[in-house]
Amino acid sequence: MFEIMVAVRYLIDEKKQTAFIILACAVGVAVMVFLYGLISGLQASLIDRTLGSQPHIVSNAHKEKPRSIVRSDDKTTVIGSESRGFDRPQYILDWKQKISSIENIDGIVAAAPHLRGAALVKRGDIARSVMMNGVDAESFGRIIPVKKKIIKGKWDLPGVSIVIGKTLADDLGVVPGDRIQLSTAVASDFFTVTGVFDLGSNQINDNWVFVPLNSAQSFMALEGEINSIDMKVDSIFSSSKIARTVEKRTSLQSLSWMETNSQLLIALRSQSSSSYMIQFFVMVAVALGIASVLIVSVVQKRREIAIMLAFGTARRQIVKIFLYQGAIVGFTGSVIGSVMGTALAEFFRSISRNPDGTPQFPIEIEPLTYMIMILIATLVGLVSAAMPAKQASKVDPATVIH
């Protein structure tokens, strides 16, 4: 405690010097907090947008393997010897058992059946080809929050009903309550529009329609089959790992969003590493600043250090006095810097808004981030005080006093 007390008093005594170095540290931390908030906010929104219309994991039945048109005992070399064969969709029949076994896997939050097929919607003269998604509204809603993306009507699929995208609704000029005709190669019927969604992607808003699973099955002449099981996990970055477990348990071919969006992940990673680089160099600059001010302070206080040594203060106590000064500067600076960084982020958010008033740059800073920043800055302060502290402990009272 003696050492902390002396450290604090020294810092208070050198008001201007201390204020400058704490400010330097605060500015550094503010940049770090702001940058971190911006990058992680941008990434979170990118991931959010990507996963807004995509399950974390999708399991499909294994597709039939392409068969070779060259028999293995054939000695003849044929160029283009492999045929891709028919890429026939495979269906899952025992999906109820599979879903219940998937739901027991650690990390899985929800699993839902999904049947996709091509269809045509018509209203009056206008016809559009669409992707018909047969789902169970309730369980699918747990995978993709369509309910939150409904802009008109509601997310519900009772009887012969359909939920369509914003662009398609505009094109057809329909609102909830209207009826549109849905046709496939095997069936055709009128469906009542119950809701209109905006999933954030033009292609989806234009192309997707949701119908009850059993309607889709009868429109595709199926008797209870589906073509994929969609899943949501609790930690999105463990999706790949969980997908492997799902594969083992169900022998379904499972792909996580991380595999289907590997380009996005690479972009996110390089964005993160460049942000870490910037933060690292900011901290190096802060460390040099703290170290240089403390070195000056050691020189200024040589006589006082000498007298403290003379009246019995141990050298390790002198070392601690200067280490604590570094740590206190780092800690105080980072607390102030966190406030500044947050204010900066808020300011940035307030000036950069979309025309509709929503923030252009989502900035997300979690309490843990602050704690990590403060911890890092305190450690940086401590480390940068190491050299000045060593210098202080080497003061020779015999030559300094008198």
Partner 1 sequence: METVISLRNIKKSYGDKVKTEVLHGIDLDISKGEFCALVGQSGSGKTTLLNIMGLLDKPTSGTIALFGKQIENASIDEIAAIRGRTIGFVFQFHHLIGAFNALENVMMPMMAATGGLATKAMKERARYLLDAVGMSDRLTYKPDEISGGQRQRVSIARALSMDPKIILADEPTGNLDTAMSNEVFSLLRKINSEQKTSFLIVTHDTKVASSCDRTVEIVDGKLV
Which positions touch partner 1 (CB under 8 A)? 1-3, 5, 9-10, 12-13, 303-304, 306-317, 397-398, 401-402
Sign of the Cα pseudo-torsion (18, 20, 22, 25, in order): negative
Task: Give the H/E segment covering residue 135.
Answer: strand 126-135
Return the number of the residue (314 or 371) whose C-beta is nearest partner 1: 314
Query: In Å, what is the CA distance from 289 to each residue of 17, 31, 60, 160, 292?
Result: 11, 16, 58, 70, 5
Return the number of the residue (62 or 402) whose C-beta is nearest partner 1: 402
CB of 326 to partner 1, least distance (A): 17
Return the number of the residue (351 or 401) whose C-beta is nearest partner 1: 401
Return the number of the residue (249 or 302) whose C-beta is nearest partner 1: 302
CB of 2 to partner 1, least distance (A): 5
CB of 333 to partner 1, least distance (A): 20
In three-state secondary structure terms, 303 is helix
CB of 400 to partner 1, least distance (A): 10
CB of 4 to partner 1, least distance (A): 9
Task: Return d(Cα 237, Cα 47) in angstroms, integer.
Answer: 11
Place of tokens 């529009």: 193
- Tokens standing for residue 260: 């289907």
Q: β-pairing, 126-135 with 108-123? A: antiparallel
CB of 391 to partner 1, least distance (A): 16
CB of 334 closer than 8 Å to CB of 325 = no
Return the number of the residue (218 or 313) whose C-beta is nearest partner 1: 313
Return the number of the residue (272 or 317) whose C-beta is nearest partner 1: 317
Task: Return d(Cα 154, Cα 194) in angstroms, integer.
Answer: 6
- Tokens standing for residue 72: 């293995």
Return the number of the residue (88 or 402) whose C-beta is nearest partner 1: 402
In three-state secondary structure terms, 180 is strand
CB of 97 closer than 8 Å to CB of 249 = no
CB of 390 to partner 1, least distance (A): 14
